[in-house]
Structure 1
Amino acid sequence: MRLMIKTLSILAVLAILLMTPALAATTKPVLVMTDYRAAPGASVTTAGPLMPGDTGTVIVTITNTLKSPGAGTTTTVTESANNWDGTHQTPTNTWSRSTQSSDGSSGSVAIKFVGLQENGPVRVVSQSYTNPGCLGMGDSARFEFTIEADDNAADGKYYLPISVKTDDDAVYLNQYVPVVIDSSGVRMFLNDAPSALSGSKNSVILDVVNYMPGGVNSVSVVPAGAEFTFKPLQEYVVGNIGAGEMYTVNFEIASKNASYTGSPSFVVKYKNGDNWHQSAPLTLPLTAKSNTAASATADNSGLLYLIGGIVLLCVIVGGLFLFMRGQRAKK
């Protein structure tokens, strides 16, 4: 009888354990994109937009956020039995035993593939990563990709898909990296200039404005015009201009001759990251009066030469007439 009661108690406990799901403590690595940057250059220190036609770099940091490896599965079995002395039941005796199995996980994961895909006018020109190595618990790895924006890329934010595959199909990452295209660029405006240029010094003031949301570097203003002299001679070096900032430059210009047919012009050159850009030429709006006045001066000079020639001819003819008359009188 005592054996039967003990057996029934054990079977009841086992039935309860079978009906209750075992709690597994197995934990897999979790991959997270903890940082990303896109910038118009090979050296990415701060994120920034690309302009149409720019070449840039995308840097992605992938982290294995697992803090401890899997602890395996713990199973606890509790048994109890009642003793029977033949006349009545004695107090219940209860005992437990536990078993633990390890899943053998070290918390690391082997990276098999890391790839960035193009989107719209933003193309990925570098190769994907294949079998770059393992990523341990709490470790991070940085991956760089070279991108290019089409010359006619429209302004906007483009999301480039990035995917990470591992040796465990249950551990992967699918995310998006935003890349901004902005064609605002740097513009130049005429602040002050004379309506006509003379052979002496004429001051021309220009304002250079950076409309980009990030800074630009290697900014300079380059003059052009074969009929004019400029100071500075070749270019006015500005340097760096921050986002939304303006810089004012001053040129001294003189015409080489009293008359000229063209007008001086200026362009601003600058770099967005590692990419060179140039603005459309800004031409000084010289009035036609300056050219007309120069032409009138030239016409007046020609008229004076003509009158002088006529007077000289008259003197010669008159002198010849008087000479001939004197010769006749002697005869």
Structure 2
Amino acid sequence: MEISYDESRDQRDGQYREKTGNTEERMKGWARLVLILIVVTFLVTPSGASDNEIGITNPTVIITGYQVTPAVLLPGDTGTVTLTIKNTAESASMKENSGVTLGGTFASTKSTDINAFIEKIHLEENGIKVLTDDFDRLGELGPGQSIPVTLVIQAPEKSGIYFPEVWIDVKGGRSTRYPITVNVNTDISTQKKPALFVSQIRPDQVAPGDNCVVAVNITNTGLTRASDIAIDLNSTIKSLVLTTAGHYYMEHLDPGEGMNFTLHLATDKNTPIGIDPVILTIVYHNPDGTIERQIETIGIPVKGKAVIAVKSFSTDPVRPVPGNAFTLIIRVENTGTDQANSVQAALESPFSGTNSTFIGSIDKNSDAPAIFYLQATMDGTIPTNLTISYNDDFGSHKITEQATITTSPGSGILPIVVMILILLIIVGGGYWYLRIRPGKWNGE
């Protein structure tokens, strides 16, 4: 059999293969282009956002501290555990990124804190007994906010150290597990520290205008040394001033050691009545270098004092006449800084009548009269003694004043009337003798 070669068919097959190869190359090129566009699309516009990206960090809370009351429980005793729960504002936030550039970076970033919703607070007993129920759906806690939560517990009958665990569940966030320590009748050594105790010896009372002295003692009643002790004294009352140094320094005080110093203070009449404070500030260092600041108050008991004196002394009439009644008026004044109470006046004199009178209370910078009703019994200058007694915050007091009362026998209405009567008798007698006597009208 003879086989013939068809050249035109080979040409057609070559043209077909050439067209097919070109089509495959074009298809591969389009596929690469589509892949590049998909990658760029994911870089420029992340999935789930059209022109920005929002990243949310789950909110959570932490326990910043706790307190067990009492610090040491006796077996079977009831106590409380107070937790301080805080929202971690920096991690519980919503972050928004916007303005994506072609290089894949963000033009601006915005962070917004979000609330943490506390769903449940539970105390896992671990040896102790919890008397309160769990706190369910406590509510939202704002960024940076803290909230105290108190649970009631009961100690077991066996002494020891127990570690109950606090479980806090946050909606959509991370749960918190936090162990606490409960001491049941166990002596645990604590950090030894110094302790400065301030004692004072001061007067029971100080009158405005008087000076006073206060002795101060500072003793270290702690277990370790207090170093670099600086003491500063400051009066809060302008009219109560220190007349000695107000600053003291001690290099150190070992346990049981003390230091003494004396304060001299001056007052004036404007110093307020009552307990006037002098502030004593102590700053010292613990053995670990931490600084302690202690504030004490020295109270100065300022009490008002009455000062009684005789202001005036007068009689009515001015010059009594023997045998006549008169009034003695004595004005008593209080020049002190407080009220005088139970003021009484007593008179010692040869005159008859009242010899004592009750005045009552006299306020400071005021006066009151003491009135005596007397009968003049002699003439001349008569000495009298006046005694005034009174009370104030400092106790009972007495003062004595001397005075004189002058009587005038030639003065007064009665002697004048007598003289007029005598004169009238003399005139009448003379008229009778010269004009009317018997026998005269008979020509004798």
Select the structure of larger CA radius of gyration.
2
Greater relative contact order structure (CA < 8 Å, 6+ sep) = 1
TM, length-normalised to structure 2: 0.30
Give the TM-score normalised by the residue count of structure 1: 0.38
Structure holding more strand per residue: 2
